[in-house]
Amino acid sequence: MRVLELARKRRSIRKYSAKPIPLENILYAIETALQAPSGANRQPWRFIIVNDPDIKMEIRKTAESWERKLHESDSTPEWFRKWLRERGITWRKEFLTTAPYLIVVIADKRAPYSRESVWLAVGYLLLALEEKGLASLTYTPTNPRAIASILGVPEYYTLETIIPVGLPGEDKVKEPRMRLEEAVYFNRWGSRRD
């Protein structure tokens, strides 16, 4: 499948089947991510593959305790609450235990453009997972440090995202995207193609 087709097909999945998937497919996707460009080629990424049920549960419990605070907080804007409600997204993060694998993506803070580089690698990773017919989600925990501590990640690394990977446990329509004409200007801000 061509990159555009894969990109069009990929969508975030928040419910997973517990059916096992080959570890080789996870490694294939990470191998793809390793090909991404990075600031001064420092390759500031690390990936922790988690499939131990006890560790997954510990991650989930910690993540949920912080999510609960966020969801119950008055400072969460109403538009965001509504957006979450419409999608049935709550503080519960079942996918952290039901997905057969979690890929925890970590950035080395000491590298230049560390986060930009790591997220670029995440983009490669998502498309490679899609190519293998695997569902994923870029879950960004409310308190990444609390989860990094569980995994023994040193202080000078930041946990950027936890990506559950598995077979989809829900049938989901892709969120709408902008049309090319809406997103692209020519030569100057706001200037459309003739």
Ligand X SMILES: Cc1cc2nc3c(=O)[nH]c(=O)nc-3n(C[C@H](O)[C@H](O)[C@H](O)COP(=O)(O)O)c2cc1C
97, 138, 151, 168: which one binds ligand X (CB under 6 A): 138
Q: How far is the CB of 173 from ligand X (least distance, A)?
A: 9
Q: How far is the CB of 14 from ligand X (least distance, A)?
A: 6
> Cβ distance 100 to 31 under 8 Å?
no
* Residue indicated by tokens 């989901």: 172
Burial of 79 per CB tally in 10 Å (0-12, 13-18, 19+): exposed
Can you tell me the distance from the alpha carbon of 33 to that of 24, in angstroms, rounded to the nearest whole number?
A: 14
Does 69 sit near ligand X (CB under 6 A)? no
Q: How far is the CB of 40 from ligand X (least distance, A)?
A: 23
> Cβ distance 117 to 38 under 8 Å?
yes
Does 98 sit near ligand X (CB under 6 A)? no
Q: How many Cα neighbours within 13 Å face the side chain of 170? A: 17
The continuous run of DSSP H or E covering 136 comes out as: strand 135-136
Can you tell me the distance from the alpha carbon of 12 to that of 139, in angstroms, rounded to the nearest whole number?
A: 9
- 134 contact partners, CB below 8 Å, separation of at least 6: 21, 25, 29, 165, 166, 167
30, 50, 137, 147: which one binds ligand X (CB under 6 A): 137
- Give whichever of 14 and 60 is closer to ligand X, judged by the CB atom: 14
1, 3, 89, 184: which one binds ligand X (CB under 6 A): 89
Residues of this chain, 149-188, that bind ligand X according to CB under 6 A: 174-175
Does 139 sit near ligand X (CB under 6 A)? yes
User: Of the listed pieces 101-109, 135-143, 147-155, 179-187, which binds ligand X according to CB under 6 A?
Assistant: 135-143
Q: How far is the CB of 69 from ligand X (least distance, A)?
A: 14
6, 11, 49, 167: which one binds ligand X (CB under 6 A): 11
